[in-house]
Structure 1
């Protein structure tokens, strides 16, 4: 797939800007805080309807404006698609595909696929489990767009169940509310779908990531990725997962009532990353952690390509500065012209002359983009 055009209106610090992409690789060059990352964020929103910055829509709309537009033209093997995402400061976003407003946002997902790799991704290793869950959720949305709806359902049930537990905790009642059983059943139903999909995705991603990691580390290190759901997962069959889920809820029921919150479910899952059987988060050096994240991102690219049948876009947000020359070369060699790549950087020193010759260079300054 190839992103042909991107048109931003009142998005972040862009008043109105159109970009025509004419090469497999586009380098966005400029000082910090000029809008380079904002452009990549717009592409990420078109791909996943999410942003790694986890911003509210009101933060995405330019100061003083009420509506922001992201428009794009995408070339895929099946033909050309026109995408439009409307963001509102005080209202619901809307999506439009080929001049048709879509009733379900889920139908917008899967048209454009992209993998974002930014300096913030180093938190995948050293940060908390919520970051790894968000990473896995974003990957799954691209592999199975229906997952966005499933996750939304689960989070809605979770909020309402938590509200019930909180109200019980703050009341004088001695007996748990009867309606809790109804929310238990809905939590298990939605949560089982989330858990099974996460497990399947990691089963497919792990061998690919391990191969990339071995290649980058010259086979001196072994990467293992293990899914640790908050319930025992011995078999990935719906009935077994649901039964284990109900059993775990029963075991934690007293603690949940006492704490006023849900303690069991995919919102408590962990993804364990180990290098040579040692937890990467606790013991991995900075170099090891960067190798690990690089392997994960290259594995994402490969898995999405295998599933959707076309190479996704790669968005590299100021990441080359975080990698040493050896890892930079590994990444740039892996990309070549296989993936359309958008790269932000403050200088061109990381690129060899061949890369620069085959790249489109754009200068970004104060929300405006100029040809290089």
Structure 2
């Protein structure tokens, strides 16, 4: 797939900007806080309807404006698509494909695929379990767009169940037992769908990431990725997962009622990242942690390509500065011309002349793009 054009209106610090892409690699050069990352964020939003910065829609709209719009022309094997995402300060966002409004945002997902790799991704190793869950969920949305609906449904039920528990904190279990059973059934049904998809995604991703990690580390280290669900899943049969879910909820129901919050479910899952059988977050150098994240990102690219039968876009946001020369070369060699790549940097010194000669170089200054 190939991103042909990108048009931004009142998005972040861009007022009106159109970019035509005409090379497999585009390097965006500029000082910090000029808008390089904002441009990549716009592309990421078109692919996943999510931002790795976790920004609210109103924070994505230029100061003083009520509406922002991102428009892109995308070429795929199946044909060309025109994609539009409209963000509103005081109402819901909307999406359109070929100028036709799409009623369900889930139907917009899967048309465009991209993998973002930024310095923030080091939090995959060092950060909380929530960071790793969000990373896995974003990957799953690209592999299986219906997952966005499944996850939204689960989170909605979770919020409603938490509100019920909070309202009922002064009640006895007997008083609320029948209504709680209804919420339990809904949570288990929706949560089981989340758990099983997360498990299958990790099973597919883990061996690919381990292979990349072995290559980058010259087989000096072994990476293991394991899904550690809050609910034991046994053989990953739906009935078994549901039963285990119900059993654990029953065990924790009195504590949940006392604390007014749901303590059982995939919102408390973990993804374990181990190097040589030691948790990666405890494993020493930042260099080794960067190797792990690089392996994860290359594995994401490969897995998405295998599933959709087309290479996704790669978005590299100031990440070369975080990698030593050896890891930079590993990444750039893996990319070559296989993936259309958008790279942000503060200077061009990290690139060999052959890369520069085959790349489109754009300069970014105060929300404007200069050739």
- Give the TM-score of the pair, scaled to structure 1: 0.99
Counterpart of 1:179 in 2: which secondary structure? helix
Counterpart of 1:31 in 2: which secondary structure? coil
Counterpart of 2:226 in 1: which secondary structure? strand
Contact (CA 8 Å) 2:4, 2:22: kept in 1 or not? yes
Aligned positions of 1:48-67 closer than 5 A:
48-67=48-67
| Cα distance in 2 between the residues matched to 1:319 and 1:301 | 16
Aligned positions of 1:71-86 closer than 5 A:
71-86=71-86
Q: CA RMSD in A?
A: 0.7
Question: 2:335 — aligned with what?
Answer: 335
In the alignment, structure 1 residue 220 sits paired with structure 2 residue 220: yes
Question: 2:355 — aligned with what?
Answer: 355
Question: 1:264 — aligned with what?
Answer: 264
Question: 1:175 — aligned with what?
Answer: 174
* Deviation sequence 1:55-86 (CA, Å, 0-9, x none): 00000010000000000000000110000000
Of 254-263 and 21-30, more deviation after overlay is shown by: 254-263
* Deviation sequence 1:79-127 (CA, Å, 0-9, x none): 1000000000111000000111011000000000000000000000000
In the alignment, structure 1 residue 244 sits paired with structure 2 residue 244: yes
Aligned positions of 1:111-130 closer than 5 A:
111-130=111-130
Question: 2:185 — aligned with what?
Answer: 185
Deviation at 1:270, TM superposition (A): 0.1
| Cα distance in 2 between the residues matched to 1:344 and 1:176 | 58
Deviation at 1:289, TM superposition (A): 0.3
Contact (CA 8 Å) 1:275, 1:284: kept in 2 or not? no
Contact (CA 8 Å) 2:252, 2:263: kept in 1 or not? yes
Deviation at 1:236, TM superposition (A): 1.1
Deviation at 1:176, TM superposition (A): 4.6
- Give the TM-score of the pair, scaled to structure 2: 0.99
Counterpart of 2:273 in 1: which secondary structure? strand
Aligned residues: 370
* Deviation sequence 1:300-345 (CA, Å, 0-9, x none): 0000000000000000000000000000000000000000000000
Question: 1:308 — aligned with what?
Answer: 308
Question: 2:369 — aligned with what?
Answer: 369
Aligned positions of 1:198-217 closer than 5 A:
198-217=198-217
4+ runs deviating over 6 angstroms: none
Question: 1:38 — aligned with what?
Answer: 38
Provide closer, same or farther for how the CA distance between residues 261 and 352 of structure 1 changes in structure 2, counting only shifts above 3 A.
Answer: same
| Cα distance in 1 between the residues matched to 2:252 and 2:279 | 27
Counterpart of 1:351 in 2: which secondary structure? coil
- Give structure 1 stretches of 5+ with no counterpart: none
Deviation at 1:174, TM superposition (A): 5.9
Aligned positions of 1:79-94 closer than 5 A:
79-94=79-94
Deviation at 1:258, TM superposition (A): 1.2
